[in-house]
């Protein structure tokens, strides 16, 4: 059995390797079907190289009935405008090409299992026989093109979502850590079925356009910085250059008692971190949570551009996990459900505790809280002062006088792009 490409064939080691990688990302039950059906393996792997390669070439004919139907479909597909559009995301991009192939394999296998289940209660009891029967039935019924059309649409949406998620996390460099790609695929698939996730991503991307790609980063001098800025003088022997310690005794003593020794001087980032509290109570469902979470994502993007740390807590009646890992931040913003009541006082107490006990006060002195809560907030001015913390409060569709009195900056949110940009500017200046 031969695949449908001629510039890379299923005899090639790299082709076999990609086929195995596709299998590894499939759910366990789908893996079983994938293993016993070589045609599905070849269709999925062909699609990887069809999207990854600069110039893929198809055979003029395939002897296998299923693969011939697939070849005809692909022949029409690669001349289409939609193919050219998706190729902009997948060409020479291993992750996005792999995402496409995985999604397509899942969709095709799902259709095969669905057909088998119409006739057999347990498709896995005699799987290979059932799969052979199903493939033959689909060819005889002329269903292969329709199935591939559905699978292609599904795969294209998955790739678009996966690309968006990857960009949220940090672009191509974000996929280098083990397990990251699987997390990207998981979120991309969730986005297919959860509208508010797509809304958050869409609105976030609008806000991203207002964040400069290159931002001036304020720096300060210090021994333990990241960038070498030159040399300075020091009286501390432990900071002196090695060659200074090797000077003749007379010259060494002269420097020690005089202007001091040469030392390397570095620049370190002087700007602090961003600490964000986001209300996830039940009253935030809808456009309020979309706006709040989109802004939280935009602040995360701004932190990334400016190389600042980012900390996030969701809260309702209680506060939830403190998040700083990019994958966890994006995952939580997109997936955490809005429910429960609101306790702003508890959220702020936790934030102050984070700054003091976790040592975050060394990184930031600004807390940003986004809420629609109208409960009475206790006077925490002494706690905030003790932590040397400034409070930026964003009130969504309501008023909270007690929170206003406590805040260094208080704004009523406009649930629009302009309102999001306004908050970004306030946070950036803090």
pLDDT per position as a tens digit, 321-333:
999 988 899 999 9
Contact 361, 388 (CB under 8 A): yes
Residues 24 and 50 placed together within one structural domain of the fold: yes
Residues 227 and 87 placed together within one structural domain of the fold: no
Query: CA-to-CA distance for 262 and 425, rounded, in angstroms?
Result: 41
At residue 306, the pLDDT reads 80
Residues 317 and 408 placed together within one structural domain of the fold: yes
Q: Give mean pLDDT, residues 351-372.
A: 83
pLDDT per position as a tens digit, 383-416:
888 888 889 999 998 889 999 999 999 999 999 9
Residues 92 and 183 placed together within one structural domain of the fold: yes
Residues 281 and 377 placed together within one structural domain of the fold: yes
Residues 242 and 125 placed together within one structural domain of the fold: no
CA 313 to chain centre: 17
pLDDT at 229 over 50: no
pLDDT at 264 over 70: no
Nearest to 109 by CA among 201, 163, 28: 28
Q: Give mean pLDDT, residues 245-271.
A: 65
pLDDT at 422 over 60: yes
Q: Give mean pLDDT, residues 1-15.
A: 94
Q: Give mean pLDDT, residues 115-136.
A: 89
Residue 198 domain-assigned? Answer: no
Taking CB atoms within 8 Å and a gap of at least 24, the contacts of 76-79 are: 77/152, 78/50
At residue 241, the pLDDT reads 75
pLDDT at 235 over 70: no
pLDDT per position as a tens digit, 35-85:
999 999 999 999 999 999 998 999 999 999 999 999 999 999 999 999 999
Residues 54 and 186 placed together within one structural domain of the fold: yes
Residue 181 domain-assigned? Answer: yes
227/6: higher pLDDT: 6
pLDDT bin (cut points 50, 70, 90) of residue 312 is very high
Task: Label residue 18 exposed, middle or buried (CB < 10 Å: 0-12, 13-18, 19+).
Answer: buried
Residues 265 and 285 placed together within one structural domain of the fold: no
Strands 227-234 and 261-269: antiparallel
Contact 161, 187 (CB under 8 A): yes
Residues 278 and 234 placed together within one structural domain of the fold: no
Q: Give mean pLDDT, residues 253-273.
A: 63
Residue 255 domain-assigned? Answer: yes
At residue 357, the pLDDT reads 81
Q: How many domains does the chain have?
A: 3
CB atoms within 10 A of CB 266: 16
Residue 335 domain-assigned? Answer: yes
Residues 24 and 154 placed together within one structural domain of the fold: yes
Task: Provide the residue range defining the domain that includes 252.
Answer: 219-269
At residue 215, the pLDDT reads 47
330/227: higher pLDDT: 330
381/228: higher pLDDT: 381
Q: What percent of the chain has pLDDT over 70?
A: 88
CATH code of the domain covering residue 361? 3.40.50.410
At residue 177, the pLDDT reads 59
Query: CA-to-CA distance for 162 and 157, rounded, in angstroms?
Result: 8
Residue 247 domain-assigned? Answer: yes
Residue 313 domain-assigned? Answer: yes
Considering 35-49, 108-122, 157-171, the range whose residues carry the highest mean pLDDT is: 35-49
pLDDT bin (cut points 50, 70, 90) of residue 178 is low
Phi, psi of 391 (to 5 degrees): -120, 120
Residues 230 and 330 placed together within one structural domain of the fold: no
Query: CA-to-CA distance for 336 and 281, rounded, in angstroms?
Result: 11
Where is the domain boundary, 269, 284, 310? 269
Residue 199 domain-assigned? Answer: no
At residue 366, the pLDDT reads 84
Averaged pLDDT score across all residues of the chain = 86
Residue 399 domain-assigned? Answer: yes
Residues 169 and 77 placed together within one structural domain of the fold: yes
At residue 168, the pLDDT reads 85
């Amino acid at each position: 059995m031969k695949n449908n490409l001629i510039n890379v064939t299923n005899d090639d080691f790299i082709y076999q390797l990609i086929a195995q990688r596709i299998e590894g990302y499939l759910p366990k039950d789908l893996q079983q079907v994938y293993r016993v059906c070589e045609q599905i393996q070849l269709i999925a792997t062909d699609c990887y190289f069809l999207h990854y390669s600069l110039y893929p070439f198809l055979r003029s004919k395939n002897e296998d009935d299923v693969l011939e139907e697939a070849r005809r479909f692909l022949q029409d597909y690669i001349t289409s405008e939609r193919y050219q559009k998706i190729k902009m995301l997948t060409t020479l991009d291993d992750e996005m090409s792999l995402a496409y192939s995985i999604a397509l394999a899942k969709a095709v296998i799902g259709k095969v299992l669905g057909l088998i289940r119409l006739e057999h209660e347990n498709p896995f009891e005699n799987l290979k026989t059932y799969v052979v029967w199903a493939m033959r039935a689909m060819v005889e019924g002329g269903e292969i093109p329709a199935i591939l059309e559905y699978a292609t649409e599904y795969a294209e949406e998955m790739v678009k979502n996966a690309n968006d998620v990857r960009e949220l996390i940090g672009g191509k460099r974000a996929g280098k850590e083990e397990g990251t790609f699987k997390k990207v695929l998981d979120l991309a698939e969730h986005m297919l079925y959860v509208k508010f996730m797509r809304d958050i991503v869409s609105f976030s991307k609008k806000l991203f356009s207002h964040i400069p790609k290159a931002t001036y980063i304020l720096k300060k001098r210090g021994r333990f910085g990241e960038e070498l800025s030159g040399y300075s003088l020091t009286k501390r022997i432990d900071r002196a250059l090695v060659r200074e310690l090797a000077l003749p005794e007379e010259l060494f003593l002269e420097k020690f008692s005089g202007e001091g020794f040469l030392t390397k001087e570095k620049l370190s980032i002087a700007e602090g971190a961003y600490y964000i509290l986001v209300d996830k109570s039940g009253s935030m469902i809808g456009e309020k949570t979309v706006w709040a979470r989109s802004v939280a994502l935009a602040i995360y993007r701004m932190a990334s551009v400016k190389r600042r740390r980012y900390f996030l807590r969701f809260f309702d009646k209680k506060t939830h996990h403190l998040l700083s890992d990019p994958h966890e931040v994006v995952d939580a913003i997109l997936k955490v459900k809005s429910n429960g009541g609101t306790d702003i006082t508890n959220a702020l107490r936790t934030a102050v505790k984070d700054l003091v006990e976790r040592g975050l006060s060394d990184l930031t002195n600004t807390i940003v809280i986004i809420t629609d809560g109208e409960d009475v907030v206790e006077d925490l001015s002494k706690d905030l002062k003790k932590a040397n913390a400034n409070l930026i409060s964003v009130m969504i569709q309501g008023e909270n006088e007690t929170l206003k009195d406590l805040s260094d900056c208080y704004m009523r949110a406009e649930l629009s792009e302009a309102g999001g940009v306004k908050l970004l500017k306030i946070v950036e200046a803090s």
